[in-house]
Amino acid sequence: MNHVFWMSLGGRGANIGMIATLPDLHGFSGERGMDPVRNVVLVTIDALRQDMLATYGHRGGLSPFIDSIADSCVVFERTQATGPYTQASFPGILTSSHYFDHGRSTHLSQQRTLISEPLRKAGIVTAAFHSNPYLSEYFGWNREWDVFRDFMDVDVSDTVPFLKGDDINRHASDWLSSHVGKRGYKSFFLWVHYMDVHEPYVPRRNYLKMVHPSVELSEDEMFRLFKDVLLKRNVSDKQRVDLLRKLYEARVREVDDHVKQLFGMLEQLEVLQDCIVIMTSDHGDEFGEHGGLSHDGKMYQELLAVPLLIFDPERKRKEICSKLVSSIDISPTIISLLGLDPVKNFQGQPLLPAGDYEEEGCFGEAVEKLGHKTNERDKEVYYYMEGDLKIIYRGNTDAWEIYNLRDDPDESNNLIGATPESEQIARMRAVLKQRIGRWK
Amino acid sequence: MSRPTVSQERRSELEHKVQKSKEIIREAFGKFDAKQLAVAWTGGKDSTTMLWIIRQVCLEDGFTQPRAMFIEEGDTFPEIMDFVSEVSKKWNVDLDVCMNKDVHDAAGGVLGAKVLVSKLNERNQREIRERLKLDVESFPFEAESFIGNHLMKTVPMNIFIEKNSIKGIFQGLRWDEQPARKQDEYFEFKEKEDLQPPHTRIRPILHFMERDIWDTIFTFGIPHVCLYEQGYRSLGAKTTSVKLSNVPAWEQDLEHTSERAGRRQDKEKMMERMRKLGYM
């Protein structure tokens, strides 16, 4: 393998990259090599199902911008969230640990290491912009960030009970433009979280027209659907469930524009070339696949399969990684990209270079709450996935489920008891058993 | 117990901030008569510091000290009541303790008790129906719920302002308390609305950060309520203020942890958000 050293002069910094030339007439694969990147941006989109993006098979054109940059991305086809809803999933994303590692608690345990902490120690500036109450200052998520805006103090409407992507972008842009305004600005880690796909599904009219022109509902009617169908988890009327899905899809189309706007902003500030952008979601949403709606304490793929794309401005060809990875690997990846020492408390591993990633099997856990009210008496639900096999334990009913996702991607055929347990299944069951109630 | 000591440079910085506050206060005395001014005093570290600075200006310039308005929301720490009583005597402060007695009595003075809207006086009923636009028959008596906060804090304040023909009221708000505050101005005029008298809100300590308040308290010997020693960072109603530490407030990591993390009122906001997002 020949190595070529080159200097790329662009924008505000010089990158020295090492390119391995492949026996490829068209030149190189465009990999950066593992030299540290200057800045990292993390974009998390709440409740975005993996199968909404063209890169993951959707044919409805819901994500033209993300599709357009896919060639500059490493796409992780099999990414598992660590939980089916925000509270259970985000400890995975930002602390590389599992939801019940320190017991069942709502506040961010001091024993966890939040991504902002090692970055602060390394002198990297950190900024967070979101509007999800579960990730607010109140629960301790603001720890160590240089800038942390959760916008809990802002008034919101019933139909859009969060800050829209364009507002999030505006705030992020205000901060970033003042940060990079000086020459030789400090490396930064920017995290933006978009709530635009999250229920209640009341999309802006123009987006609904773009993706489902036949749907003509007033805002009131859309909100009524949220109250009467979604909140009640009422899947009896297939048409109405389908309508919900269409509204959701219009929202996906909308958030794609916000991602586009963010990239435009990074480009305009001339920092995009010095950024790696990680895009993912915390969980999906159900549309009746397992008799429910929204995102309850259930461990099925419509909730756990999340998109994960890592954008590298120097990449010229999409790389698809089919290894089974977890969002628990995201924070270690950020650390590694910025050239920092691994963090002891992080349980995951760096995702890049994808070729070096060692599949380990994924875990997830949550409170098995069903329906939109939480009940303290609810027990926990867990999953463990290895290769194509997924095992689930439901505490409320003391029930086990096993699915072969290759043969049965819909997870409708529970293999428990159906066939004699293979060695692998027996082993997986034993592994998951160890995690049940482990903090007690 | 360790009390922070400050360097000469820091002392000078604090004196500068106090000076800036005094300018705002003097401007207020220029606009309004002392009798038309009042101080919203909670007994907390911010409003007490502000009260002290106002007192300094009055002593220096010969103004009459404006009266202090203390809102009794029905859930006040006894330590705060005692502190306010003591300090008002020491500083010769004309203290008005205001309470929405009607609501308090309708609940039998019991926190959490159900209050029937129909049993309240006309003013309170109008506040609920017209100001809050709520169509409820009853609500639990809590100082820091959405309804509670309005009836037990905002309404007594408006009544106090009306009754005493107050034109300007001093409030101990700071910019760094929470992001919503960043837009606050030193002088904010509140237009007349139904059930709200027109008045100006004056915030002389906006530019103080949490750390500045503590350093000022110890540098100039300003009294503070003992609850802060016990670990409370921020004080509101007794049942809804949580102390997240046993270490005195000024010894906690003020710069990197949230001042209001233990305040139930913020929990209310969040729960409202969660409700709207379909979670409750």
- Compute the distance between CA of residue B278 and CA of residue B280 in angstroms, rounded to an integer: 6
Q: Is residue A257 located within the same domain as residue A393?
A: no
| Cβ distance of A161 and B273 shorter than 8 Å | yes
Q: Is residue A233 located within the same domain as residue A100?
A: yes
Residue A24 lies in a domain: no
Last residue of a domain, one of A311, A327, A362: A362
**Predicted pLDDT of residue A418:** 75
| Cβ distance of A152 and B269 shorter than 8 Å | yes
Residue A213 lies in a domain: yes
Q: Which A-chain residues 147-186 have CB contacts (< 8 A) with chain B?
A: 149, 151-154, 156, 158, 161-162
Residue A50 lies in a domain: yes
Last residue of a domain, one of A362, A387, A409: A362
Looking at beta carbons, which residues of chain B come within 8 Å of A143? 256-257
Last residue of a domain, one of A327, A362, A397: A362
Q: Which residue from A134, A137, A158 is facing B258, i.e. has the nearest CB?
A: A137
Q: Is residue A181 located within the same domain as residue A110?
A: yes
Six-digit token string for A119: 């970055």
Q: Is residue A144 located within the same domain as residue A280?
A: yes
**Predicted pLDDT of residue B240:** 65
Q: Give pLDDT tens digits along chain A (440 positions).
A: 322 222 233 333 333 333 333 332 222 334 455 689 999 999 999 999 999 999 999 999 999 999 999 999 999 999 999 999 999 999 999 999 999 998 887 788 888 999 999 999 999 999 999 999 999 988 889 999 999 999 988 889 999 999 999 999 999 999 999 999 877 899 999 999 999 999 999 999 999 999 999 999 999 999 999 999 999 999 999 999 999 999 999 999 999 999 999 999 999 999 999 999 999 999 999 999 999 999 999 999 999 999 999 999 999 999 999 999 999 999 999 999 999 999 999 999 999 999 999 999 999 999 999 887 777 678 999 999 999 999 999 999 999 999 999 999 999 999 988 778 889 999 999 999 999 999 87
**Predicted pLDDT of residue B149:** 78
Instruction: Please tell me if residue A198 touches chain B, with a CB cutoff of 8 Å.
Output: yes
pLDDT in tens, B182-204: 778 999 999 888 888 999 999 99
Q: Is residue A409 located within the same domain as residue A292?
A: no
Distance from CA of B261 to the nearest CA of A (A): 5
One-letter amino acid for residue A5 of the chain: F
**Predicted pLDDT of residue B216:** 96
| CATH superfamily of the domain spanning B8-276 | HUPs (3.40.50.620)
* Domain count along chain A: 2
**Predicted pLDDT of residue B144:** 64
**Predicted pLDDT of residue B265:** 60
| Cβ distance of A372 and B279 shorter than 8 Å | yes
| Cβ distance of A374 and B280 shorter than 8 Å | yes
Q: Is residue A234 located within the same domain as residue A342?
A: yes
Task: Examine the predicted complex and report whether its ipTM is higher than 0.90.
Answer: no
Residues of chain B with pLDDT below 50 are none
Residue A25 lies in a domain: no
Instruction: Please tell me if residue A231 touches chain B, with a CB cutoff of 8 Å.
Output: yes
Give the distance from CA A155 to its chain's centroid.
26
Q: Which residue from A133, A140, A142 is facing B274, i.e. has the nearest CB?
A: A133
CA atoms within 13 Å, Cβ hemisphere of A227: 9
Q: Is residue A277 located within the same domain as residue A325?
A: yes
A278 by DSSP, 3-state: which?
Answer: strand
- Compute the distance between CA of residue A355 and CA of residue B127 in angstroms, rounded to an integer: 65
Q: Is residue A322 located within the same domain as residue A407?
A: no
| Cβ distance of A136 and B270 shorter than 8 Å | yes
**Predicted pLDDT of residue B280:** 75
Query: Taking the domains of chain B in order of start, what are their residue ranges?
Result: 8-276
**Predicted pLDDT of residue A8:** 31
**CATH value at residue A331:** 3.40.720.10
Q: Is residue A140 located within the same domain as residue A250?
A: yes
Looking at beta carbons, which residues of chain A come within 8 Å of B258? 137-138, 140, 142
Residue A28 lies in a domain: no
Q: Is residue A142 located within the same domain as residue A231?
A: yes
Residue A95 lies in a domain: yes
- Compute the distance between CA of residue B270 and CA of residue B266 in angstroms, rounded to an integer: 6
How many contacts, defined by CB atoms under 8 Å, are there between A and B?
A: 58
Q: Is residue A192 located within the same domain as residue A333?
A: yes
pTM of the predicted model as reported, rounded to 2 decimal places? 0.68
Q: Is residue A302 located within the same domain as residue A432?
A: no
**CATH value at residue A440:** 3.30.1120.10
Looking at beta carbons, which residues of chain B come within 8 Å of A294? 278
Distance from CA of B278 to the nearest CA of A (A): 6
CB atoms closer than 10 angstroms to residue B201: 17
Q: Which A-chain residues 255-294 have CB contacts (< 8 A) with chain B?
A: 294
Looking at beta carbons, which residues of chain B come within 8 Å of A226? 278
Per the structure, the complete domain to which residue A425 belongs is given by 379-440
